[in-house]
Amino acid sequence: ELAALTAQQFQSGLLAGKKVVITAGPTREAIDPVRYISNHSSGKMGYALAEAAAEAGATTILISGPTQLATPDRVQRLDVTSAQEMYDATMASLEGCDLFIASAAVADYRPAQLAEQKIKKTGQDTMTIELVKNPDIVTAVAASQPKPYTVGFAAETQDVVSYARGKLERKKLDLVIANDVSQAGIGFNSDRNAVTLVWPTDEETLAENSKTQLARDLIARISAKIT
Amino acid sequence: ELAALTAQQFQSGLLAGKKVVITAGPTREAIDPVRYISNHSSGKMGYALAEAAAEAGATTILISGPTQLATPDRVQRLDVTSAQEMYDATMASLEGCDLFIASAAVADYRPAQLAEQKIKKTGQDTMTIELVKNPDIVTAVAASQPKPYTVGFAAETQDVVSYARGKLERKKLDLVIANDVSQAGIGFNSDRNAVTLVWPTDEETLAENSKTQLARDLIARISAKIT
């Protein structure tokens, strides 16, 4: 309790007067009215970042895919389902945005056709789903004018840091937070995480910690860059 | 509370000495370590049926896909993720089974290949997922010897009852519980439902009700057939 209070006092005001937009959770891409493609993101890291940003005094908008999480205090939450909806909500939230953090696990592809009725099982032993690419939200934000400080995530199962650096450069991001989701006990659906911050000119690893504490540390580091 | 007590007393003993196996919830079919195909089943109807069966005195096994629900009192719950795991758990639970209720929304198909590493986004604008058929759990149970009284569900968005009768005959089931998941306020993820019971020689519609009460009514009707 004392530690929490101290952390809060430490962070208080770091982002006063700033507007922060954060995406969180998975997206769901409908195949038909009952089936969908999704992923194992719980949204916990994004919600923790939103909480830490609000603690730091930012006006904080959390654009969330389907999760089981409670909205943090003083955070304005917009619920979306698909990647396209998340893209639209993000673009509509960018005015005056100082910091954008893309922590959602957005589906890269969605089914090319959305069946209006539940697809019936056929006699066939195989079936094919055709997918088309979704809009790339973090790339679109990084290309917007004026550009907010734009932070991406790289949740990978191998070569995490080198992939993160490639993403940073390819998408013209300001920071990529890399985490290895193949490690047991951290990442997706866990309350703990360990990440490597990949900036344009250096890297920094934050040891395993609760997502709450890690989020405060991340917000403190990012605040130092944008204020 | 009085109504609940009365219902419980009414049902008490209807399935005494019987073994009931119920599947519930969605399955998740992995595409890679982070992505999967699933569906909108909440598991609520299956959990309500397990609760009602246990209330009625049955030894009750609930084989559950991923849900957010608490295990009902006196119910033995086995957690599974994929259709193949649900099939295996079901087959391993059939010994001495008097009644099997397939309420889970089992994926008909799974990705043909499970990628060991997260699939990277390519430059391509389209992608294809090849699927192969999963084992048909309720058909396998209905074909087992000795055959338990076998109940299937038909969650459809159109032509619900005629589809249910086709399923009853094709899979040699004893009862199909048909519900129209396209109706707002009932079915998937709702606390309420309305169903039509499709028996070999007749049909009966149960009006919209809470899933708890509907489950008790269903267990009472099914009990009359097997005792």
pLDDT digits (tens, 9 = 90+) for A154-166: 988 888 899 999 9
Rounded Cα gap, residues A149 and B202, in angstroms: 65
Find which of A129-133, B10-14, B59-63 is predicted with most confidence, using mean pLDDT.
B59-63
> Counting Cβ atoms within 10 Å, is residue A170 exposed (0-12), middle (13-18) or buried (19+)?
exposed
- Interface residue A122 vs chain B (CB under 8 A): no
What is this structure's pTM?
A: 0.86
Rounded Cα gap, residues A198 and A177, in angstroms: 6
* Average pLDDT of span A25-38: 94
Its ipTM equals 0.84
| List of residues 6+ apart from B143 with CB closer than 8 A | B172
Q: In this structure, what DSSP letter does residue B153 have? A: E
Q: Residue B12 has what pLDDT?
A: 75
Rounded Cα gap, residues B113 and A89, in angstroms: 34
Contact B59, B18 (CB under 8 A): yes
Contact B110, B38 (CB under 8 A): no
Would residue A189 show up in a list of annotated catalytic residues for this protein? Answer: no
Rounded Cα gap, residues A94 and A19, in angstroms: 9
Contacts of B188 in chain A (CB under 8 A): 34
Contacts of B118 in chain A (CB under 8 A): 155-158, 181
How close is the nearest chain A Cα to the Cα of B12, in Å? 35
Contact A100, A49 (CB under 8 A): no
* Sign of the Cα pseudo-torsion (B57, B61, B64, B68, in order): positive
Least confident range from A1-5, A44-48, A144-148: namely A1-5
HSE-CB at B151 with a 13 A cutoff on CA atoms is 26
Mutate to test the interface with B, among A27, A34, A125 (most CBs of B within 10 A): A34
Neighbours of B128 (CB within 10 A): 12
- Interface residue B34 vs chain A (CB under 8 A): yes
Q: Is the pLDDT of residue A1 over 80?
A: no
Contact B61, B93 (CB under 8 A): yes
